[in-house]
Amino acid sequence: MIPIAANLLSQWRANRRIRLFSAVALLIATIHLAVHLDEARRDAITSYRSNQALLQRLEEAAADAAWTERAAAATAALLEAEASMIAVAGAGPAQAEMQAALSAAAAAAGIAEVAVRTEGAAMVEGLSGIWEVSARLAGAASGPAATALLADLSARRWIRVDRVEIRDLPPNQVQMIVRGYFRQSTDEAIQ
């Protein structure tokens, strides 16, 4: 082993290129380490400031005595919204109710050539007993008719309009992507 180390040391002393290359490699490694440590320091500072801000908001919320009243009001609003939803027995009836509601609203607003297509129904994740139905509505409509339809749908708490396209040039068209929410009915409510 000692002859190998002695051979390497003699080559190191004799060859200037090896010494220069080693010095440059050591310099690059040092710069890379310094940059990495600086980025890690910045990330730690950002995380610390974010955690401090969250802690301050949580302490302020804990000190606020009205949060229980707001939570009770939010719970009451949720229960009221759920009570205003139409009760359905399953996915099929939910889709049928959605088609009927959109068709009736479009007819009342004066939309012609109405086409309502439901995309599907699924249970809402995190809320037991709530169905979500996606639908598309299309028809020929003037500006006032489209406005009347939007006003009617916005008054219904259980319908959410995701997207609206209104074309003012002939033929005047309105297209909407809508989501409706329905409450799962119990067996006693069905009978």
Of the candidates 147, 127, 141, 134, the one whose C-alpha atom is nearest the C-alpha of residue 174 is 141
User: Would 67 be classed as within a structural domain?
Assistant: no
Q: 93 and 33 in one domain?
A: no
User: Would 148 be classed as within a structural domain?
Assistant: yes
Q: 114 and 45 in one domain?
A: no
Residue 23 has pLDDT above 70, yes or no: yes
Mean pLDDT of 110-138: 89
Pairing of strands 130-140, 112-123: antiparallel
On average, the pLDDT of the chain sits at: 87
Residue 28 has pLDDT above 50, yes or no: yes
Residue 143 has pLDDT above 60, yes or no: yes
Render pLDDT for 32-83 as a digit per residue (tens, 0 to 9). Answer: 999 999 999 999 999 999 999 999 988 887 777 787 788 888 889 878 877 7
DSSP count for the chain of H helices, then E strands:
6, 5
Residue 103 has pLDDT above 50, yes or no: yes
Mean pLDDT of 156-174: 84
User: Would 106 be classed as within a structural domain?
Assistant: yes
Q: 48 and 106 in one domain?
A: no
Q: 110 and 171 in one domain?
A: yes
Q: 153 and 99 in one domain?
A: yes
- The whole-number pLDDT of residue 41 equals 95
Q: Is the pTM of this model over 0.75?
A: no
Q: 110 and 27 in one domain?
A: no
149, β-bridge pairs? none
User: Would 60 be classed as within a structural domain?
Assistant: no
- The whole-number pLDDT of residue 188 equals 39
- Residue 181: phi, psi to the nearest 5? -120, 135
What total of structural domains would you count in the chain?
2
User: Would 168 be classed as within a structural domain?
Assistant: yes
- Give residue 134's domain range: 86-190
- The whole-number pLDDT of residue 70 equals 84
Q: What is the DSSP code (8-state) at residue 168?
A: -
What's at 49, amino acid-wise? R
User: Would 76 be classed as within a structural domain?
Assistant: no
Mean pLDDT of 154-170: 85
Q: What three-state secondary structure class fits 90?
A: coil
- The whole-number pLDDT of residue 155 equals 86
Q: 45 and 92 in one domain?
A: no
Q: What is the DSSP code (8-state) at residue 124?
A: P
Cis amide linkage into residue 171, ω under 30° from 0: yes
Q: 29 and 114 in one domain?
A: no
- The whole-number pLDDT of residue 187 equals 56
Q: What is the DSSP code (8-state) at residue 171?
A: S
The token duo for 91 is 């996915």
- The whole-number pLDDT of residue 45 equals 96
Share of the chain above pLDDT 90, in %: 36
User: Would 62 be classed as within a structural domain?
Assistant: no
